[in-house]
Amino acid sequence: MEKKDKWVIGNWKLQGSHAFLQSYLNEFVSAAQASVDRLEQERIGLALCPPACYLRDAVKLMAQLPSPWASRFLVGAQNIAQHASGAYTGELAADMVSDCGAALTLIGHSERRQVFGETDVQVCAKVRQALDADITPVLCVGETLVEREADQTLEVIGRQLGEACANLSSDQWSRLVVAYEPVWAIGTGRTATPDQAQTVHAFIRARCEQMQASGAPGYVPLLYGGSVKAENAKALMSEPDVDGVLVGGASLKPAEFAQILGAA
């Protein structure tokens, strides 16, 4: 996938339907008219991650949108399996998700880690699966409130990054996107301040550079996620190390998601 300068990714989680997807895209396109020129001139990565059963639908419906939307809207999965194939009932392989037309996938979202018990080892395997299938892994990292209050934020993020990205080649690093999503800010209405986000992003930036063994380090886009809304998106994305946003709840409202794109 070509390099993007800014990213706006919507994560629908366990919400949506075929009918919703259809009306959503039409409403989004009319609400986002003001962003058309910028979308044509700048490298903005715009993506939606609907539930996996709608990936193919989303790809087809997006292809029918007027220009430039048809070519600029990307589809992403919310999760992939840690295995390529085999006896793993209920799982979806990275290749399958790619076969449905997805260009990227979230990996290690805090809901996967906390609700489904996903470990750093599994997250690491999933990052490799995505890279092998040639889809962009959007690796999610973030601390809980308890960890933040115990002053362990950077330690936790450092561990999550270290485990997920150990021994990646420079080509693999160049295809990775990282999303910082403080768990205490997800779905709570409590957003990290731009300052708090920038502090952690600067740490992630430095750690990513440090982990890239040789040569000039590749640039890893860093997204912020956690109660991003139309009213706070601009301030967050004005921080030097915030390259975009990963939006949950507000991405279900087409007009608001269009405003967030406008803020990018």
Residues that bind ligand PGA (CB under 6 A): 11, 181, 186-187, 225-228, 246-250
d(CA 42, CA 189): 30
Q: Which is nearer to ligand PGA, 153 or 212 (CB)?
A: 153
- Closest to ligand PGA by CB, 73 or 184: 184
The nearer residue to ligand PGA, 161 or 223, going by C-beta atoms, is 223
Smaller CB distance to ligand PGA: residue 81 or 223?
A: 223
Check residue 178 and report its DSSP letter: E
Comparison of 99 and 231: residue with beta carbon closer to ligand PGA: 231
Question: Closest separation between CB of residue 3 and ligand PGA, Å?
Answer: 22
Q: Determine whether 109 is an active site residue.
A: yes
Nearest residue (CB) to ligand PGA, 95 versus 246: 246
d(CA 184, CA 249): 15
Q: How far is the CB of 260 from ligand PGA (least distance, A)?
A: 10
DSSP assignment string, 43-64: -EEEEEE--GGGHHHHHHHHHT
**Three-state secondary-structure class, residue 193:** coil
Helix intervals (H) in 18-152:
18-31, 36-41, 55-63, 69-72, 94-99, 110-115, 120-132, 145-149
Token digits of residue 92: 């979806």
Q: Which residues pair with 138 in a beta bridge?
A: 106, 177
**Minimum separation from the CB atom of position 214 to ligand PGA (A):** 33
Catalytic residue among 118, 143, 181, 256: 181
Shortest Cβ 38–ligand PGA spacing (Å): 23
Q: Minimum distance between the CB of residue 185 and ligand PGA, rounded to whole angstroms?
A: 6
Q: How far is residue 223's CA from residue 177's CA, in Å, rounded to a whole number?
A: 8
Nearest Cα residue to 91 out of 77, 104, 102:
77
Please, what is the minimum distance in Å from the beta carbon of residue 80 to ligand PGA?
Answer: 16
Nearest-CB residue to ligand PGA? Answer: 248
147: left (phi over 0), alpha (psi -120 to 50) or beta: alpha
> Given the structure tokens 């290690």, which residue do they identify?
108
CA 241 to CA 16: how far, in whole Å? 32
27 is catalytic: no
Indicate which residues carry an active-site annotation: 109, 181
